[in-house]
Amino acid sequence: MSNATAITHRWFEEVWNQGREETIDELCAPDITGDGLGEGGTPIKGAEGFKVFWRNLRDAFPDSKVTIEDTVTQGDKCVVRLTFRGTHTGKGGLGLPPSARQIAISGMIMLRIADGKIHEAWNSWDQLGLLQQIGAMDTPQDRFMTSQA
């Protein structure tokens, strides 16, 4: 396993599955930039910026679990295809009342790693699916069932 792969897998296991905030400080470069997480497409800057996102999502889904489905590493970049699962029991940064619904959404994340630290992250995950699964938005099936009534 390459160093980039090992760091990536450690990130998801410790930060997301174990909820270890101290690993964020340990693995993030001071100048880390995270795309695809901020509101309105604004990149997240620095470990403190990421911690706001992380705390909000972990508050909304306290039992969150990330499963890495596939990993591809080339040079200083590591890409993972993953599934995020959790139960929406907290308000968190979603700004929505808890639905108590379980969710499972997919995503792909690419990390650039240098000198044992994550410097950049590009995130793409099923935000629409998340909102539909917690009941914040209708699904196509909901619309179809309503139109048939």
| DSSP states along 95-116 | TS-----EEEEEEEEEEEEETT
Whole-model pTM: value is: 0.88
C-alpha distance across the termini of the chain, in Å? 55
Q: Where in the chain does DSSP place strands (E)?
A: 28-35, 44-45, 65-74, 77-87, 102-114, 117-125
3-148 maps to CATH 3.10.450.50: yes
* pLDDT (tens digit per residue) in 76-124: 999 999 999 999 998 767 788 999 999 999 999 999 999 999 999 999 9
CB 19 within 8 Å of CB 59: no
The closest of 79, 57, 81 to 69, measured between CA atoms, is 81
* pLDDT (tens digit per residue) in 8-64: 999 999 999 999 999 999 999 999 999 998 777 789 999 999 999 999 999 999 999
What residues contact 92, with CB distance under 8 A and at least 6 apart? 55, 56, 57, 58, 59, 60, 61
User: Rounded to an integer, what distance in angstroms lies between the CA atom of residue 140 and that of residue 132?
Assistant: 9
* CA distances in angstroms from 125 to 20, 52, 112, listed in the order given: 22, 18, 18
